[in-house]
Amino acid sequence: MEKYICVKDLENAALDLLPKATRDYYKSGATEEQTLAENSTAFRRLRIRPKCLVNVERTDLQTRALGNYVSMPVGISPSAMQRMAHPDGELANVKAAEAHGTIYILSTIATSSIEEVAQAAPKATKWFQLYIYNDREVTKSLVARAEKAGFKALVLTVDTPLFGIRRADIRNQFTLPPHLKLANFDGHLSTKIQSTKGGSGLNNYVSGLFDKSLTWDAIKWLKSITSMPIIVKGILRPDDAVKAIEAGCSGILVSNHGARQLDGVPATIEVLPEIVEAVKKYNTEVYLDGGVTTGTDVYKALALGARMVFVGRPALWGLSVGGQAGVQKMLDIFRTELEYTLQIAGTPSISDITRDMVCHESVYCKL
C-alpha cells in the first residue's frame, strides 16, 4: 500500500482492476455528467486563507456527530453492491471504519446484510441508509433490523423517486453479477436487479418498488416506528433543509447522490453555506458528500459549516485495490492530508476552523 500516496492513485489503480461494467457503474454520473465534474472542480474554486505563527504543536482531528465520537471528520458514504469491488465488500469497509474510529453508512441495496455488517464490526458507529418502498412492511422490517443490530441512525435518501439516467449502465446493460445478491432481502427483491430488460438492471430493480408519492409526512411515519435519529440525505435547497428539521429530522446530509440523479444541479460544496445558514437557529448538524478527494477538500467543507464529510467513491477505490487494507489506506491518506492542512493553515483543532478560513476565488479576481 506504500505506493499509493493520494486518493487519485487508488482511483487509477482501481479503474485498471475492475471489470468494465462495474467500473462504469461506480464512476459514472447522470446524463452529460456536468455535475459529476462540478462536484470536484467547485472545491478548486475555493481558497484557504492560512494564519501564521500559530502554535500547532498539537493537532486534534476529533469531533462528534449526533453525539458519537469520531476520530476525524471523514466517514464512509453509502454505496451499493460493494462485493462487486472486492469479495469482502461492505464488511471490509465497515472494519476499516471501525479501525479508524469513524462512521460507516450501510446502503439498503448492499451485498452484505445488516446483520453481517453489525457482526463484522461491533464497535463501529454504523448508520443505515434507507429507501422507503411502496410496501411499507419491507421498510419497517429494514428499520427494525437495523435498530436491533445496533445501528445508531437512519439516513433517509430523499432524492430518489426513481434512479437517474446513467448512460453507461444502459449501454452496459448493467446487472449485479449472478454470484451476488442484494443481501438485505429474500426472494425476488434480492435478485430482481439481475434482470435488465434491455437497459439498466438497477433502474429495472427500483421500477415499481420505490414510493414516488412520498411527502414530508414520511418523516413522521418513520419516527413512529423507530427511536433512531433520522438524517435526510439528498438535500440541495435551504427550504428543504428547514422542512426536514421541522418534520423531526436530526441532521442534514447535503448530497446530490454522487451526481448520479439529475445532471445540472449544483455541486454540494456550492450549496453548503446557504443550507448551513438556513438551519443555524435549529442547532442541527449538517454533513456533506460529493467530490471530496483530498484533505483540503475536507477542510474547505468544515470551514463552510459541515460537521463532517462522507466519501463514497474513494472508499470503493480503496476497497477494489486492497479490501480492508485499501480502505484503511484511503482513510490514512485523508487523515494525513487533513493534519497537514490544519497545521499549515494555523488551525490546530477542528473547532479552530472558522468561516473566514476559506473564500471564493472571485475575491482575488477583481483586477
CATH number (3.40.50.720, 3.20.20.70, 3.40.50.9100, 3.50.4.10) of 7-358 reads 3.20.20.70
pTM: 0.95
The per-residue pLDDT for range 307-366, each reduced to its tens digit, is 999 999 999 999 999 999 999 999 999 999 999 999 999 999 999 999 999 999 999 976
Residues recognised as catalytic: 257
In this predicted structure, what is the pLDDT of residue 209?
Answer: 79
Q: Grid coordinates standing for 125?
A: 458507529
pLDDT of 33: 97
Q: Is residue 13's pLDDT more than 80?
A: yes
What average pLDDT score do residues 10-34 get?
96
Q: In which band, very low, low, confident or very high, does the pLDDT at 2 lie, cut at 50, 70 and 90?
A: confident
Q: How far apart are CA 365 and CA 367, in angstroms?
A: 6
CB crowding 278-289: b at 16 or more within 10 Å, else e: bbeeeebbbbbb
**pLDDT score at 204:** 64
Q: Is the CA virtual torsion 289, 150, 193, 11 positive or negative?
A: positive
Distance CA(4)–CA(244), nearest Å, equals 40
Nearest to 156 by CA among 254, 231, 214, 228: 231
Check residue 200 and give its pLDDT: 59
Q: What is the share, in percent, of the chain residues with pLDDT greater than 70?
A: 94
CA distance 161 to 19: 29
- Residue 175: pLDDT band (50, 70, 90) is confident
% the chain with pLDDT above 90: 86
pLDDT confidence of residue 173: 87
Residue pLDDT, tens place only, 144-158:
999 999 999 999 999
Mean pLDDT of 159-166: 92
And the C-alpha cell for 197? Answer: 430488460
pLDDT in tens, 200-249: 556 666 666 788 899 999 999 999 999 999 999 999 999 999 999 999 99
pLDDT in tens, 51-107: 999 999 999 999 999 999 999 999 999 999 999 999 999 999 999 999 999 999 999
What pLDDT is recorded for position 367?
53
Q: Does pLDDT of 192 surpass 90?
A: no
* Average pLDDT of the residues in 24-36: 96
| pLDDT at 194 exceeding the cut of 70 | no
Residue 337 makes CB contacts below 8 A (sequence gap 6+) with 6, 294, 295, 296, 298
| Burial (CB count within 10 angstroms: exposed 0-12, middle 13-18, buried 19+), residue 93 | buried
Indicate the average pLDDT of the chain: 94
